[in-house]
Amino acid sequence: MSQKFDVVVIGAGPGGYVAAIRAAQLGLKTACIEKFIGKEGKVVLGGTCLNVGCIPSKALLDSSYKYHEAKEAFAVHGIEAKGVTIDVPAMVARKANIVKNLTGGIATLFKANGVTSFEGHGKLLANKQVEVTGLDGKVEILEAENVIIASGSKPVEIPPAPLTDDVIVDSTGALEFQSVPKKLGVIGAGVIGLELGSVWARLGAEVTVLEALDKFLPAADEQIAKEALKVLTKQGLNIRLGARVTGSEVKKKQVTVTFTDANGEQKETFDKLIVAVGRRPVTANLLAADSGVTIDERGFIFVDDHCKTSVPGVYAIGDVVRGAMLAHKASEEGVMVAERIAGHKAQMNYDLIPSVIYTHPEIAWVGKSEQSLKAEGVEVNVGTFPFAASGRAMAANDTAGLVKVIADAKTDRVLGVHVIGPSAAELVQQGAIAMEFGSSAEDLGMMVFSHPTLSEALHEAALAVNGHAIHIANRKKR
Ligand SMILES: Cc1cc2nc3c(=O)[nH]c(=O)nc-3n(C[C@H](O)[C@H](O)[C@H](O)COP(=O)(O)OP(=O)(O)OC[C@H]3O[C@@H](n4cnc5c(N)ncnc54)[C@H](O)[C@@H]3O)c2cc1C
C-alpha cells in the first residue's frame, strides 16, 4: 500500500528542506525526497547551497582572505608575519568538514520536526502521486495532498569549453582544487565567477576573467559596479569585458582558450579554467507527461506569485522557478508555500530580495538602482558616504567603497540601498529592514547608530539624501 502525506517535497536544498520543516511545524504530515550523493557516497541533504554553493564557497573565501590579510595586510598594523604559507588540501578539508556538519544538521532537524526522509529520485505523476526510485532501484509511490517541487539548478555548460576531469571545471570543481593554479581563467564575471576568482587570486593565482558582456555587473547600481570594477582590478583580477569565448583546447594539463574582443581573436593559456556562465533549472525526469505541470519558455517550472503551478495542490519554489537564483529567495518561498498550504495568508515581498557578492570588499544591494529608477521616470534624491570617511573602517584598515541610499524625491521613501565595502551584506540587510517597514531617508537619519560602527556609513548616507550628513561635505544643502 502506498504511503499518504499532506505534503511531499521533491529536493532538500534551502527551498525544499525549509518548506518541509515549516510544513511539519504546522502539523502537516510531511515527506522530503533527496538524491544528492555526498563525498562519502551517501545521500546528503542541503542541496547546492550547503554542499557545493553558498557555504563551501564562503568557507574558502574566508580562509583565503585570512591568508591574504596575514601576508599583505598585517604589516600596516605593526604585526610581523613572516613565512606565511598555505596548505590548500587542509583549507579544502576544513570546508568539507563545515559542509558535513551543516548537512548532518538538516537530517537532525528533519528528525526533530518529524519530516520523513526518502532517499532517491522523485518524479511527479498524475493526480499528485509521487514516484520515488531508491538508490537500489526500488520504486515506491507516495500519495500527496500537496506537492512542493524544489529540484534546484545546475551549472550551464557551454560548447566552446566542455568540462574535463580536472582542467576545465564548473563551480563545483573550482571548490576542490588541491593546489593553487599558476594561471587561472574564469569564464563569466557574475557572482560565482568573481567569488571563485577572488579565492584563488588571494592564494596567488594570476586570474583572468572573460566576460562576454561589455558592461560589468549590469544588475548592480552603475556607480557601485564602476567602483567594484576599479577595486577588483586593483586587487589583480584581470577582468576582460566584451570577451566572447569561441573555443578551447586542452593539452598537457593546460587549456588554451580562444576568444574574441574589440581587438579581434585572442588566445590565452591557463592551468585551470572555471566555467561560471550561469545555472539552469533541474527538470530532467521530474515530471511525468501527464503530471499537468507546465514549463515556461526558459525551462523553468511555471508558477504564479504564490508559487502555484498549473496543477492545483502542486507548487514549485527556488531555483527551478522564475526569479533570482538565491538560497534566501528559495527558503522564503518554501516558508510561504508551507504556510499557504496550512491555510495562512503568507506572501513574500519579491521587491526586497537582497543580492550579495562576497568579494572583498563585499558588494550588496536591495531595492532599485539609480539607473532603473531613472528609466522608470522616478525622481530621486541620492545620498552617498565613503568608507574612507568612516572611523571604524579606518580602524580596521578597510576603507574601500561606499554606501548609497536612494530615496523618492517626492516622498523621501527609501527605494534602494547599495553598498560596496566591508560587511556590505550586513549593512544592506539593515536597509532591507528599513525598506520593508516603509522607512524614509529621514527616518533612517533620525535613528541612533552605535559609534564607531560601519553601520554609521548607512546612517550618514541616509542623512546625505537630504543634505544633512555630518561627516562629509553635503552636495545638496537643505
Ligand atoms: C558556488 C555557488 C555559490 C553560491 N553562493 C550563494 C550565496 O552566497 N548566497 C545565495 O543566496 N545563493 C548562493 N548560491 C545559489 C544557491 O546555492 C541556490 O540559489 C540555492 O541552493 C537554491 O536552492 P534550491 O532549494 O532551489 O535548489 P538546490 O539547492 O539546487 O537544491 C535542489 C535539490 O534537489 C535535489 N533534486 C533535484 N531533482 C530531484 C529529484 N528528481 N528527486 C530528488 N531530489 C532531487 C538536488 O539533488 C538538490 O539537492 C550559490 C551557488 C553556487 C553554485
Write the pLDDT tens digit of every residue in 234-282. Answer: 999 999 999 999 999 999 999 999 999 999 999 999 999 999 999 999 9
pLDDT in tens, 283-333: 999 999 999 999 999 999 999 999 999 999 999 999 999 999 999 999 999
> Which phi and psi (to 5°) does residue 122 adopt?
-100, 140
Report which ligand 1 atom has the smallest distance to the Cα of 334: 25
Establish if 472 belongs to a structural domain.
no
Domain boundary among 350, 379, 399: 350
- For residues 391 and 262, membership in a common domain is answered with no
pLDDT at 2 (0 to 100): 86
Nearest CA to ligand 1 atom 35: 11
Q: Is 49 in the pocket of ligand 1 (CB under 6 A)?
A: yes
| 383 alpha carbon – ligand 1 mean position (Å) | 36
Average of pLDDT values for 407-434? 98
**Full DSSP string of 362-420:** EEEEEE--HHHHHHTT--EEEEEEEGGG-HHHHHTT----EEEEEEETTT-BEEEEEEE
Among 350, 372, 407, give the residue marking a domain's end: 350
Residue at a domain's end among 289, 320, 350: 350
Q: Residue 149 is part of a domain; what is its CATH number?
A: 3.50.50.60
Q: Are residues 29 and 150 in the same domain?
A: yes
DSSP states of 41-91: SSB-SSHHHHHHSHHHHHHHHHHHHHHHIIIIISGGGT---TT----HHHH
pLDDT (mean) for 82-101? 97
Q: Is 287 in the pocket of ligand 1 (CB under 6 A)?
A: no
383 in a structural domain: yes
Q: How far apart are CA 48 and CA 172, in angstroms?
A: 9
My answer on whether 212 and 180 are in the same domain is yes
In a domain, 474, yes or no: no
In this prediction, residue 172 has a pLDDT band, given cuts at 50, 70 and 90, of very high
Sign of the CA dihedral running 147, 140, 21, 344: positive
pLDDT in tens, 323-359: 999 999 999 999 999 999 999 999 999 999 999 999 9
Tell me the three cell numbers of residue 142.
507516495
Share of the chain above pLDDT 70, in %: 99
Report if residue 476 sits inside a domain.
no
Question: Does residue 311 sit in the same domain as residue 227?
Answer: no
User: By residue range, what is the domain housing residue 328?
Assistant: 3-155+280-350
In a domain, 174, yes or no: yes
Mean pLDDT, the chain, rounded, equals 97
Kindly state whether residue 330 falls inside one of the protein's structural domains: yes
Assign 347 to helix, strand or coil.
Answer: coil
Judgement on whether residues 339 and 390 belong to the same structural domain of the protein: no
Out of 98, 124, 132, 151, mutate this one to test ligand 1's pocket (max ligand atoms within 8 Å of CB): namely 151
Give me the numbers of helices (H) and strands (E) for the chain, helices first please: 13, 22
State yes or no: pLDDT of 233 exceeds 80: yes
pLDDT at 475 over 90: no
327 annotated as a binding-site residue: yes
Q: What is the DSSP secondary structure assignment for residue 302, as one 8-state letter?
A: P
What is the grid cell recorded at 261?
Answer: 574582443
- The whole-number pLDDT of residue 476 equals 65
pLDDT at 225 over 90: yes
Shared domain for 273 and 284, answered yes or no, is: no
Ligand 1 center to 203 CA (angstroms): 27
Q: Which of 54, 40, 41, 49 is nearest to 13 (CA)?
A: 49
Residue 438 assigned ligand-binding role: no
- Does 478 score more than 80 pLDDT? no
Is the minimum distance from the CB of 327 to ligand 1 under 6 angstroms? yes
Please name which of 27, 34, 33 lies closest in space to residue 6, comparing C-alpha atoms: 27
pLDDT class of 1 with cuts at 50, 70, 90: confident
Q: Are residues 264 and 221 in the same domain?
A: yes
Q: Is 362 in the pocket of ligand 1 (CB under 6 A)?
A: no
Tally of CA atoms within 13 A in the half-sphere of 261 that contains its CB? 17
Task: Please choose from 54, 186, 363 the residue to mutate so as to test ligand 1's pocket, defined by most ligand atoms within 8 A of CB.
Answer: 54
Q: Do 388 and 423 fall into the same domain?
A: yes
Say how far apart CA 469 and CA 169 lie, in whole Å: 48
Q: Is 403 close to ligand 1, i.e. is its CB under 6 Å away?
A: no
Tell me the pLDDT band of 50, cut-offs 50, 70 and 90. Answer: very high
Do 15 and 147 lie in one domain? The reply is yes
Neighbouring CB atoms inside 10 A of 25's CB total 16
Q: What is the CATH number of the domain that holds 423?
A: 3.30.390.30
The protein residue whose alpha carbon is closest to atom 15 in ligand 1 is: 326
Judge contact between 100 and 6, C-beta under 8 A. Answer: no
Judged against a pLDDT cut of 80, whether residue 477 lies above it is answered with no
Based on the fold, state whether residues 118 and 249 are members of the same structural domain. Answer: no
User: Left, alpha or beta for 292 (phi > 0: left; psi -120 to 50: alpha)?
Assistant: left
Distance (Å, whole) CA 294 – CA 477: 55
Based on the structure, what is the number of domains in the chain?
3
What is the identity of the amino acid at 117? S
Query: Ligand 1 centroid to 53 CA: how many Å?
Result: 7
Same domain, 101 and 142: yes
The alpha carbon of 300 and the centre of ligand 1 are apart by a number of angstroms equal to 14
| The amino acid at 224 | I
282 Cβ inside 6 Å of ligand 1: yes
Going by pLDDT thresholds of 50, 70 and 90, the confidence category of residue 369 is very high
* 437/446 Cα distance (integer angstroms): 15
Whether residue 191 is annotated as binding a ligand: the answer is yes
Task: Specify whether 459 is catalytic.
Answer: no
Q: Are residues 203 and 244 in the same domain?
A: yes
- Strands 314-316 and 139-149, bridge-based pairing: parallel
Amino acid letter for position 335: V
Asked, for residue 444, whether it belongs to a domain, the answer is yes
Measured in Å, residue 152 CA sits from the centre of ligand 1 at: 5
Q: For ligand 1, is residue 208 a contact (CB within 6 Å)?
A: no
Is 475 within the bounds of a domain?
Answer: no
The pLDDT tens digits of the residues spanning 449-473 come to: 999 999 999 999 999 999 999 999 9
**Active-site residue (options: 360, 418, 451, 459):** 451
Closest of 179, 175, 232 to residue 208, by C-alpha: 232
319 touches ligand 1 (CB under 6 Å) = yes
